Amino acid sequence: MSATFGMKNTTVRMFGEKVIVPDNAIAKLMYYLNCIGVVIDYQDSVLTDFQNYDELSGEQLLAVYQLAKLLNPSIFFQYKIFMLDQSLLINADNQFYEITDEFVGLHATREIMIGGKSVKVLKLMACNSRWLNNYYYRPIQEIDTFIRNYQRRTTITRSEYHSTPTVIPDFGCAPVNMTCNYCGEAITTITESKFNIFACFCCMLFNLLYCCVQICSNKNPCCCNINHRCPKCGRVVGEYNSC
């Protein structure tokens, strides 16, 4: 849609077209950046192609968010490149204008500094608060919340991981409940008997004395060692020595 009208000897051309923006925070920010690319010479075709937002890589998604944070609407209101003026909107929440002559009320700086780079002002845009909330402030808030929650979950997980002591159970002849040191699963060990010739020799040599020493030491007076094996990964997680 385009229209031309005069205003205090100033020719103003209104242009633009209606678009359908996907209901997605990243897609909305990409549409916002697309509009920025109309008013200033600062456009990236990949980061502004809002219809194909779902094809972006993880790094590109982050780049959209960071660029949108850099190109905050306050910058463009400061230089009068954005205007909150409902009288300039015709059945739309935003509208682009091309000023062919200078007009005090709609005057915009022709070059501005963004991120240490000088960029040219190409057009002006009028919008209302509904457009700003829908395509900038709410998407930014939604992504900010997502990032904070993600960082909080990561911090808790790492904190729990580093603060949890390693518990080594007392291995005996019976299976024990524990967390496997290799696969990290909660398990009940499988026991395997292993003949201990030294224990057998002591039992035959000292007989009753050997049995008394074993019992006083809370050990089983048998002549076998016991291997405790993880039923999940099959690795030996502990051993009971009979002597």
Q: How far is CA 240 from its chain centroid?
A: 46
Q: What is the pLDDT of residue 160?
A: 45
The DSSP string of 176-213 is -EEE-TTT--EEEPEEEEEE-HHHHHHHHHHTHHHHHH
pTM value is 0.56
Query: How confident is the prediction along the chain (243 residues), in pLDDT tens digits per residue?
Result: 334 334 445 556 777 778 899 999 999 999 999 999 888 887 678 899 999 999 998 889 999 999 999 899 998 888 888 888 888 888 889 999 886 655 434 444 577 776 677 778 888 899 999 999 999 999 999 998 888 877 665 554 444 444 444 455 777 778 888 877 777 778 888 988 775 555 555 555 555 555 555 545 545 555 567 888 888 888 888 887 765
Residue 72 to residues 23, 58, 67, 96: CA-CA distances in angstroms? 21, 22, 9, 18
Angle at 75 between CA 72 and CA 76, to 5 degrees: 100
Distance in angstroms (rounded) separating the CA atoms of residues 76 and 125:
9
> What three-state secondary structure class fits 5?
strand
